[in-house]
Amino acid sequence: MDAQFLAGKNIIIAGAGISGLSFTLAIRQLWPAGLEPPHIVIYERDSDAVPPGREGYSLSLAGFDETGGLYAARDLGILDEVLNHATQGLGNQFVFKVMKFKPAAGLPTAGIRIARKNLRKVLTNAVGPGQIKWNTACVDAKKLPNGKMLVTLSGDHIPADKSTTECDLLIIKPDDTPQYAGVMQKGGLAVFPNGIPQPVDKNWGMLLSAGKGMACFLSPYDETSVAWGISYRAPTIEEPLKLSGLEDAQQVINDCKELGKEFPEPFQSILDATDPKDVSRLAARDKQPFSHDLSLGPVIFIGDSNHAVSPFSGYGASLALKYGWDLSMQLCKAKSLAEAVKAYDAISVPRANKVLKESHQRIDMGHATGLNYLVNRSLFGQGSLCAYFVVYIQ
């Protein structure tokens, strides 16, 4: 492979997200022997601590084909560590009511769930502390006459006379807002010191109301806690999303109890066991993927910066891991940045469009009312279009 156009060059990644960390690991795996590798630095505006309200955030990683996150984890050399943190998916077949998925070649399971903080920890540990600069943000970037990018940094450890740095390639998240997908979600983390109640201890999935346009997602988070989220249609985003304090958080729990009063146990017990400090309120958002324009400079957008998906996609983390690998592979194979980016776009854009379309189908199915609800129920019975079980409440 001919990758000399990046040999010894400086690459800056704005944000220690899943895709950027995956990219960093993939470059190590794929870089041609005998060539000086590029120098990669990741600047992350936050600390390495889990932000408040994100403790109960869990993710799905697919492993039933080569586009899945487990497939990427295997290629990145972190599969065993990822599987060690799985809350669901090991020791049983990945079975859905209307479809069964088998693991892709070389994988032990077709899918798992994992706490986001644990996946991020696996990735940051693999990358190592030397390449990640915590509490340091990329606040601006502009193209220089020499074709490089001048990046402005801000953080506790950036001297005033060294607030800018040049790089040959910038992988960055733009300051834009994804589009509202029409659904609000309120959720939290319930703790059960004596063990998770049945059937959530062995299953994860979604409860659907009887045509009322409301759903509740339930999933084990670890051996003693359950992540949950009630979602419903709303014409506009219900502001404010940020909770003002514990009183506000407790009110969210109370509102969800009322919203989900038709759901059977252990729903109410799960909400009763929820700590207000672990409650969140969010709006489902996503955005259309786009192809790159290198006339703006050597800047590449990966992960949410290019193809943000809502929690209803069930595939966001898999996309992020896979795209870090795919971008690295194209950069290592190509003879120029333009050639690499064109090949990367040809892979990433169609894949993201497919996931986006499917996530909208899941939103429609999970929050159907009237005739649409009856059609979905008749077509799928106790099954689902989604990558998890669905139980209809009469």
Residue 152 to residue 142: CA distance in whole angstroms = 9
Q: Is the pLDDT of residue 220 over 60?
A: yes
**What share of the chain in percent tops pLDDT 90?**
56
> Which range among 59-63, 104-108, 377-381, 384-388 shows the weakest confidence by mean pLDDT?
384-388
**pLDDT for res 270:** 96
Could you check whether the bond before residue 199 is cis, i.e. omega within 30 degrees of 0? Answer: yes
Six-digit token pair at 296?
């703006």
CA-based end-to-end distance of the chain? 59
Q: What is the 3-state secondary structure (H, E, C) of the chain?
A: CCCHHHCCCEEEEECCCHHHHHHHHHHHHHCCCCCCCCEEEEECCCCCCCCCCCCCCEEEEECCCCCCHHHHHHHHCCHHHHHHCEEECCCCCCECCCCECCCCCCCCCCEEEEEHHHHHHHHHHHHCHHHEECCEEEEEEEECCCCCEEEEEEECCCCHHHCEEEECEEECCCCCCCEEEEEEEEEEEEECCCCCCCCCCCCCEEEECCCECEEEEEEEEECCEEEEEEEEECCCCCCCCCCCCHHHHHHHHHHHHHHCCCCCCCHHHHHHCECHHHCEEEEEEECCCCCCCHHHCCEECCCHHHHCCCHHHCCHHHHHHHHHHHHHHHHHHCCCHHHHHHHHHHHHHHHHHHHHHHHHHHHHHHCCEHHHHHHHHHHHCCCCCCCCEEEECC
Pick the closest to residue 137 from 163, 167, 166 (CA basis): 163
pLDDT band, residue 385 (cuts 50/70/90): very low
CA 166 from centroid of its chain's CA atoms:
29
Q: Is the pLDDT of residue 100 over 60?
A: no
Residue 290 to residue 354: CA distance in whole angstroms = 13
Six-digit token pair at 126?
């693999």
Residue 5 to residue 255: CA distance in whole angstroms = 56
**pLDDT for res 380:** 55
**pLDDT for res 173:** 66
Six-digit token pair at 118?
């644990």
pLDDT band, residue 377 (cuts 50/70/90): low
Q: Is the pLDDT of residue 105 over 90?
A: no
Q: Which pTM does this prediction carry?
A: 0.85
Q: Please write the tens of the pLDDT for every residue from 292-342.
A: 999 989 999 987 766 577 777 778 899 999 999 999 999 999 999 999 999
Six-digit token pair at 290?
């786009």
Mean pLDDT of 110-130: 92
Could you give the domains of the chain?
4-92+111-177+288-356 (3.50.50.60), 180-285+369-392 (3.30.9.30)
